[in-house]
Structure 1
Amino acid sequence: MISKQSKSTKKRESLALQALGEQLIGLSSEQLNSIGLDKRLHKAVADANSMRGRGALKRQKQLIGKLMRDVVDPKPIRAAIESSGMKDRLEKIIFNQTEYWRDRITVEDTDALEEFFEHLGHQNDLLTNLVESWLNEVNDCARMKIKRLIFREIHNEIYLKVQNDTSTV
């Protein structure tokens, strides 16, 4: 005997699929392409990204929910959304670490710089030169420019370290 789903169960499942489809709206076009969505669903999500009117966007979300019910297996979509969230969190962590090291290096000078190099596991001549320039500069505008360059170089180093650490796992 085949058990029939209740109307409430079907509605909960369709609302869950619609919510999953709404999460697709926030993804970039590159991320959408990597998921491998159905053409109609991909177009509906792309259209929703460009909509500004609340009523139109609400109707578009309902259409996305309807198209999501036609998806055979929503697990790859759910996994792609979760991985994009992990990437965003990782970028925030890298940014926060970069700010931390920049502030320490510009306040504590060479001691913090040496500790940063120990953390990285190698020296960076460009960063050393930038810190020396920052210490010797008296003009506030030039110091701010050098501080931004220090930030950028620290960010690049931390990003490369994270990339190397995750590729070896």
Structure 2
Amino acid sequence: MRQPEDLMNAMRGIEEESGEFLGPSRGELRREALAVLELAERLVKLPHARLLQLPLSEDLVGHVMDAQRITAQIAHKRQVGFLAKKLRREDDELLTSLRTALDHDKSESRRENAALHRIEALRDRLIEEGDSALSEIVAEHPHADRQHLRQLARNAKEEKLRNKPPHAYRELFRELRELMNADAEDPSDP
């Protein structure tokens, strides 16, 4: 006859001989479920066009779109939970590929934001320092229009001093962004 302790171990999923757990713990199961819930929340925040690019079945896309349409807080939360339940039934490969695609989007967005911040800093430096910063820009980008950039920097500085709308300030940003994008796309540059 089995002892009460043996019965408890059998109920918990502990192997009698080695004393090891047979399956994942409740904590592990909960962490996995929360990770899938977070994935579902990330999917619901995606625009429709990006959603269609992901390897999702039509059924899952429909559930995501349902969650996007629902605006009532509790109903939305319930629908996201339902989507997470559907995702938990999918194989691990799909979940991994979805996470990889979403993480790639996040890192791409970070790179784009960093590039925009560099352009903004370059614009501000060009306005403040003038010709010394312009010389460095032209040295890095020989095909840059020196006169046009100088004029935009002067106009932007003047707009700032006179509290006028920042037309030249924005135009200078656009010019610098085009200059950086042209260099990034040009394969002949070292």
TM-score tier by shorter-chain length is 0.7 to 0.9
Among 47, 61, 68, the residue aligned to 1:49: 68
Pairwise mapping of residues 12-161 of structure 1 onto structure 2 (< 5 A)?
A: 12-72=31-91, 73=93, 74-119=95-140, 121-125=141-145, 128-135=147-154, 140=162, 144-161=166-183
CA 42–4 in structure 1, closer or farther in 2 if over 3 Å, else same: farther
TM-score normalised according to structure 1 size: 0.79
Residues in 1 aligned to 2:182 and 2:49: alpha-carbon distance in whole angstroms: 22
Cα drift, residue 7 of structure 1: 6.8
Runs of at least 5 residues in structure 1 that lack an aligned partner in the other structure: none
RMSD: 3.0
Q: Which has the higher contact order (CA 8 A, sep 6+)?
A: 1
CA 95–133 in structure 1, closer or farther in 2 if over 3 Å, else same: closer
Q: How many residues align?
A: 163
Cα drift, residue 152 of structure 1: 1.2
CA 6–147 in structure 1, closer or farther in 2 if over 3 Å, else same: closer
Cα drift, residue 48 of structure 1: 2.3
CA deviations on 1:70-105 (whole Å, 9 max, x unpaired) are: 322211101011001101111210121111001011
CA 144–13 in structure 1, closer or farther in 2 if over 3 Å, else same: closer
More helix by share: 1
CA 60–161 in structure 1, closer or farther in 2 if over 3 Å, else same: farther
Runs of at least 5 residues in structure 2 that lack an aligned partner in the other structure: 1-14, 16-20
The question of whether the paired residues in 2 share the 8 Å contact of 1:26 and 1:49 is answered with yes
CA deviations on 1:105-148 (whole Å, 9 max, x unpaired) are: 111112212212333x33222x6414325426856477721111
Structure of higher CA gyration radius: 2
The question of whether the paired residues in 2 share the 8 Å contact of 1:133 and 1:146 is answered with yes
Residues in 2 aligned to 1:12 and 1:78: alpha-carbon distance in whole angstroms: 15
